[in-house]
Amino acid sequence: METEKIVVVKKSTLLESLLKRHTTTSQARFYLESAGQSYEFYQQDHKNYHENLKEVVRNIPRTIRTQTIDKDDLSMFKFSNKDLVVAFGDDGLLVNLAKYVGNQPIIFVNADEKRFDGVLATCTTKEFQKALEEKLQDKTYLESLTMAEANLNNGETFYALNDLFIGKKTHVSAKYDIKHNGKEEYQSSSGIVVSTGTGSTGWLTSFATWCKEVCEKEFPYAVPFSRESDSLIFTVREPFPTKITGTSIVVGEITEENPLMIYSKMPEEGVIFSDGIEKDYVEFNSGRTATIKPSTKKVNLVRLE
C-alpha cells in the first residue's frame, strides 16, 4: 500500500501530566519535593522522551508528509487509509491507539527501552530508521492483533485490544443473564472478563494461575494464546450461587460463530470498559444487551523480516 502521510502519535510525559495539575514547573517541583520525591526524575524522563521523539521525526524523509498528534486528541482525529502510523511511547499508548485506527499499518517505537518493556514494539528509537526504510520498500510483514468487540442493542460498539470488563462500576455484585454455547443462566458475580490473545498474558494468566495454585486444577484453555487467534476467552469473576443464580457458565471460548451474550439486570452503575481504563466506559444498565465476539477490525503491527 502506498504511503501518502506518516502520522506520529505521541503521549504526555510524566512531567507534562503533572503540569496539567500544577501549572508551573516551580509549583510541580514544590509539590514533588514536599512529598519527598525527586523532581529531577520527572525532568530527565521528559528530556529523554522528547530527544528520542525528535530523533524519530528527523529520520522521516522530508518527501513524505508528516503530522504529529497527541494521544489525547485521537478521538477527534480521522486517519486516512493511506496513512502509516508511528506510535511513540509504551505498550499503553498502543492499547489506547488501537480503538481509533483502521487497517493502517503501525510502527510501534519503544520510546525508552530502559524504562518500558515494549513487549509489542516493532523497534527501538535507534532501530526506527531501518524499520521505516524497510516498510517503505515493502520488506516487512504485518502481525494482525485480534481485538474484542462488544455490540450493544442501542447501536454502540466498543473495542478492546487486551480485554473487556462487564460488570458494576464499583466492582460489587453484578447481575445479568449470560448465554453461551447453547446454555443460559442468571448470574451474580464480580463481573466478566473477556481476553484477547494480546491480553491473555495479563488478567487471564492470573485466573489460570489461581486455578492451578489454589484449586489444583489446570485451566481448560492454553494460556497465554496467540495474539492473532480468531477467538477470545471469557471468565466469570467470583460467581455466587443462590436460589436463583447459577454458576455453570464460568469460562469459555468465544468465536464469530459462537459469541457471548450478556443481558444486563443492573438498574444502575452497570458498565463495560476496556483495557483496564475504567473512566472510558459505556453504560450497561437494565435493558441493555451486549453481543461479544472477535472483531474483524485488526491492529496491524509492522514486523521486520
pLDDT tens digits, residue range 245-295?
999 999 999 999 999 999 999 999 999 999 888 778 899 999 999 999 999
Judge whether 303 lies within some domain. no
Same domain for 109 and 182? no
Count Cβ atoms within 10 A of the Cβ of residue 261 and give its class: 0-12 exposed, 13-18 middle, 19 or more buried: middle
Judge whether 164 lies within some domain. yes
C-alpha cell at 163: 480485554
Same domain for 48 and 124? yes
pLDDT in tens, the chain (305 residues): 689 999 999 999 999 999 988 988 899 899 899 989 999 999 999 999 999 999 999 999 999 999 999 999 998 999 999 999 999 999 999 999 999 999 999 999 999 998 888 899 999 999 999 999 999 999 999 999 999 999 999 999 999 999 999 999 887 899 999 999 999 999 999 999 999 999 999 989 999 999 999 988 899 999 999 999 999 999 999 999 999 999 999 999 999 999 999 999 999 999 999 988 877 889 999 999 999 999 999 999 999 98
Which of 87, 121, 138 represents a domain boundary (last residue)?
Answer: 138
Judge whether 73 lies within some domain. yes
Judge whether 305 lies within some domain. no
Q: Which residue range(s) make up the domain with 196?
A: 147-295
Contacts within 8 Å (CB) and 24+ apart, 112-116? 112/45, 112/48, 112/49, 112/52, 115/45, 115/90, 116/89, 116/90, 116/91
Whole-prediction pTM value? 0.90
CA distances from 104 to 6, 107, 242 (A): 10, 10, 48
Count of domains observed in the chain: 2
Q: What is the rounded CA–CA span in Å between residue 33 and residue 22?
A: 13
